[in-house]
């Protein structure tokens, strides 16, 4: 598949702070590519350089064959990319249909409005004032504004920040729809679960450097960490933590998760302990490590 984004040795520094340090990656046409990491990792700086909103210090960047750092290229590039605006960029007293018509006039794309409104299920919200929309609906509107001109690439910077779980999943469905239509999507997020479910490939970033790059499931195959998980209000965490081979125990409500060196042996010892102490345990299962586990592992490796 052809690369629609190529980044090589990208750097950006603000005073003494190195926001981006030698970042390199490519994005293929039609994929959802995620740049993930904590706040302050360099995600937003990277995506703003790709959009042409911020100048780089060094490195090579090409988006659809254009250099976003060149003013002559930016004009052509802006016709082919979509950038999701922050909700604060839209006037609170503007109606949804007014915002859509205004942005459509910039691109002369009124002929595609009906399709986009249907795809994002905005028909019933057209006469609503922007200030009256929930966070999830505001995100749908700003996403609609970014794709009115049917761009080849859409850039989404933390699109689900502040959304509740239901609104977040609804947003994912919208993003999947764009992908099915052949749109390439580059998204930044600090939600590891979101990246794992949404992205075809990810670049895991911390302190301005890429710590891991690839398909989420492939990256997780190299993670040795595994867990026992079950539901119980009865267990004593100190007792479980003292069992041979147990690395870490955590509990949230009735959800218990045990990191262990040996799944089979620890499962036997935990169940034996529960039986002897008459602890009620349900939904006992094995769980693989997550992207969050991988990220913590990489940080520990880096600091060692």
pLDDT tens series, the chain, 304 aa: 579 999 999 999 999 999 999 999 999 999 999 999 888 889 999 999 999 999 999 999 999 999 999 999 999 999 999 998 766 578 888 999 999 998 888 887 777 788 888 888 899 999 999 999 988 888 889 989 999 889 999 999 888 888 888 888 888 988 998 999 999 999 999 888 899 989 999 999 999 999 999 999 888 876 766 789 999 999 999 999 999 989 889 999 999 999 888 888 999 999 999 999 999 999 999 888 888 888 887 877 766 5
Give the span between the Cα atoms of 223 and 271, in whole angstroms. 25
Identify whether 58 is part of a domain: yes
Give the span between the Cα atoms of 192 and 103, in whole angstroms. 32
Domain that holds residue 275: 226-288
260 in the same domain as 203: no
Residue 58, beta-bridge partner list: 11
127 in the same domain as 11: yes
284 in the same domain as 142: no
152 in the same domain as 272: no
Task: Count other C-beta atoms under 10 Å from residue 136's C-beta.
Answer: 17
The tokens describing 136, both together, are 């999830």
84 in the same domain as 7: yes
Helices (H), 93-249: 96-107, 113-119, 135-146, 165-180, 192-198, 216-221, 237-241
250 in the same domain as 176: no
Residue 160's Cβ-side half-sphere holds a number of Cα atoms within 13 Å equal to 23
Closest CA to 215 of 235, 231, 233, 195: 195
| Residue 12 CB partners (closer than 8 Å, separation 6+) | 18, 19, 20, 42, 45, 46, 49, 54, 56, 57, 208
CA distances from 113 to 33, 107, 145, 149, 174 (A): 26, 12, 10, 10, 16
151 in the same domain as 120: yes
Closest CA to 228 of 192, 270, 193, 196: 270
Identify whether 300 is part of a domain: no
250 in the same domain as 232: yes
116 in the same domain as 17: yes
- For residues 112 and 148, is the Cβ–Cβ distance under 8 A? yes
Identify whether 120 is part of a domain: yes
Place of tokens 């779980």: 165
pTM of the model: 0.82
Give the span between the Cα atoms of 229 and 256, in whole angstroms. 6
77 in the same domain as 171: yes
């Amino acid at each position: 598949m052809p690369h629609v984004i190529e980044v090589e040795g990208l750097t950006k520094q603000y005073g003494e702070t190195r926001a981006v340090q030698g970042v390199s990656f490519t994005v293929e046409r039609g994929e959802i590519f995620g740049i993930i990491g904590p706040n302050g990792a360099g995600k937003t700086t990277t995506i703003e350089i790709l959009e042409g909103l911020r100048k780089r210090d060094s490195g090579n960047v090409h988006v659809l064959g254009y250099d976003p750092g060149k003013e002559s290229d930016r004009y052509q590039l802006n016709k082919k990319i979509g950038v999701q605006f922050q909700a604060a960029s839209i006037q609170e007293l503007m109606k949804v249909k007014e915002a859509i018509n205004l942005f459509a006039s910039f691109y002369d794309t009124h002929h595609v409005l009906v399709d986009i409104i249907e795809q994002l299920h905005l028909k019933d919200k057209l006469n609503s004032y922007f200030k009256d929309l929930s966070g999830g609906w505001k995100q749908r509107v700003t996403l609609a504004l970014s794709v009115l001109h049917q761009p080849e690439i859409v850039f989404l910077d933390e699109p689900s920040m502040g959304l509740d779980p239901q609104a977040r999943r609804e947003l994912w469905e919208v993003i999947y729809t764009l992908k099915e239509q052949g749109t390439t999507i580059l998204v930044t997020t600090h939600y590891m679960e979101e990246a794992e479910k949404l992205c075809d490939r990810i670049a895991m970033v911390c302190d301005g450097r890429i710590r891991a790059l690839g398909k989420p499931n492939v990256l997780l195959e190299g993670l040795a960490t595994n867990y026992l998980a079950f539901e119980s209000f009865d267990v004593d965490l100190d007792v479980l933590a003292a069992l041979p081979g147990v690395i870490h125990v955590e509990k949230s409500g009735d959800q218990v998760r045990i990191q262990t060196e040996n799944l089979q042996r620890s499962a036997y010892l935990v169940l034996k302990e529960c039986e002897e102490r008459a602890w009620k345990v349900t939904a006992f299962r094995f769980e693989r490590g997550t992207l969050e586990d991988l990220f913590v592992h990489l940080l520990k490796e880096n600091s060692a």
